[in-house]
Structure 1
Amino acid sequence: MTRKCRHGTKARKPPMTDSTRMELLRGVIHPWHHDHFGHMNVRHYAPFFDDACYHLWAALGIAYESMMAEHGVHCVTAQASTGFVKELVAGDLIVIDGAVTRVGGKSASFHLRMLHAETGALHATCDVVEVFFDPKTRKAAAMPDAVRAVLEARSITEDTP
């Protein structure tokens, strides 16, 4: 059975993750996410992307707790830039995937996409820079070699929408 979604396109199996992109989060848009224009207000995108960033580390096999226990550092978000592509409305189901886009000395960058779970349509993007942080010194720290190896192995090089 093919179901028609509210955006006027036939539901199809969306292209989800591959070896470079990881599915991080699924969610639903509720009426309380709406603004006076009848679509999800920009303020509500940030919590979805923020939650996805927590899942990103687990998807990479690097839990926050183990990063602290093994290396004495964790990550903090230094920058997040959201691009709004297509509106979402109550009842829409979303999936957020992500990929490693840059590996630096003390930071790494990630590209997250918010997709419609039924159609695969791109609704928003979020580019995030995470900095490795030593909570004892309260300063940026060098990326642990073991973490670097994982990030470099999963890093994408091509431009991603």
Structure 2
Amino acid sequence: MQEMYVTYRGTVYPWHCDHIGHMNVMWYVGKFDEATWNLFANIGITPDYLRSNHRGMVAVDQRISYRSELLTGDVVLVRSAILEVREKVIRLCHQMENAVTGAVAAVTVVTGVHLDTKTRRSCALPAKNLALAKTFVTDFEPGF
């Protein structure tokens, strides 16, 4: 099994928390989104690649399982892996953890599609990116 890679580190600030004192769901999604772009950069899907080739990545499905609360001051770590790669599709997983205790706070699985931004249609990933993405594939089971 390929390992999961650290793709995000951060902290829960007071403004990330809702009226009952834990990190609000919008911040989980935001931190997962930042982790996604770090993972993509590792396979050559960088901002420069996207801009210069009129390409994009769009999320078409996202599932999140919340496992334990994160509170103000908690240090957050996200580990990521690719679950599946097809010609136009990457399915990936992120696991958010409390970096101090190791408790899993949330897990998400996202399906992304490679897009031609001019035609607004899906298109094949370049062969080199596809091959590199396959080296990140893991058999991690998100458990939902």
Q: TM-score, normalised by structure 1?
A: 0.80
Supply the RMSD in Å over aligned alpha carbons: 1.9
CA deviation after TM superposition for structure 1 residue 72, in Å: 4.8
State the match for 1:25 in structure 2: 8
TM-score (norm 2): 0.88
Tell me, yes or no, if structure 1 residue 118 matches structure 2 residue 95: no
1:41, CA displacement in angstroms?
1.8
Secondary structure of the residue that 1:143 maps to in structure 2?
coil
1:1-161 pair list within 5 angstroms: 20-67=3-50, 69=52, 72-160=54-142
In structure 2, stretches of 5+ residues that fail to align are none
Distance in 2, matches of 1:56 and 1:156, equals 13
Shift of the 80–93 alpha-carbon distance from structure 1 to 2, 3 Å rule, reads: same
- What are the superposed Cα offsets for residues 94-123 of structure 1, whole Å, 9 maximum, x if unpaired? 011100101122111000010111122110
Distance in 2, Cα, partners of 1:158 & 1:99? 8
* Greater displacement, 35-44 / 23-32: 35-44
Quick one: distance in 2 between partners of 1:34 and 1:74?
31
User: Are the aligned partners of 2:91 and 2:109 in contact in 1 as well (CA < 8 Å)?
Assistant: yes
Q: Which of 1 and 2 has higher RCO (CA within 8 Å, sep 6+)?
A: 2
Tell me, which stretches of 5 or more residues in structure 1 are unaligned?
A: 1-17
Q: Residue 149 of structure 1: CA displacement?
A: 0.3
Partner of residue 9, structure 1: none
Report the Cα distance in structure 1 between the residues aligned to 2:49 and 2:25, rounded to whole angstroms.
33
What code does the residue aligned with 1:60 have? I
Runs of 4+ in 1 over 4 A off after TM superposition: none
Offset of residue 33 of structure 1: 1.7
In 2, Cα distance between the equivalents of 1:102 and 1:155?
6
User: When the two structures are aligned, how many residues end up with a matched partner?
Assistant: 143
Higher mean displacement: 74-83 or 60-69? 60-69
- Determine which structure has more spread, i.e. the larger CA radius of gyration: 1
Q: Shift of residue 39 of structure 1?
A: 1.2
Cα distance in 1, alignment partners of residues 64 and 142 from structure 2: 14
Cα 1:112–1:148 shift into 2, 3 Å: same
Higher strand share: 2
Taking every aligned residue pair, what percent have the same amino acid on both sides?
A: 30
CA distance in 1: counterparts of 2:43 and 2:87, whole angstroms: 18
Shift of 1:68: 5.0
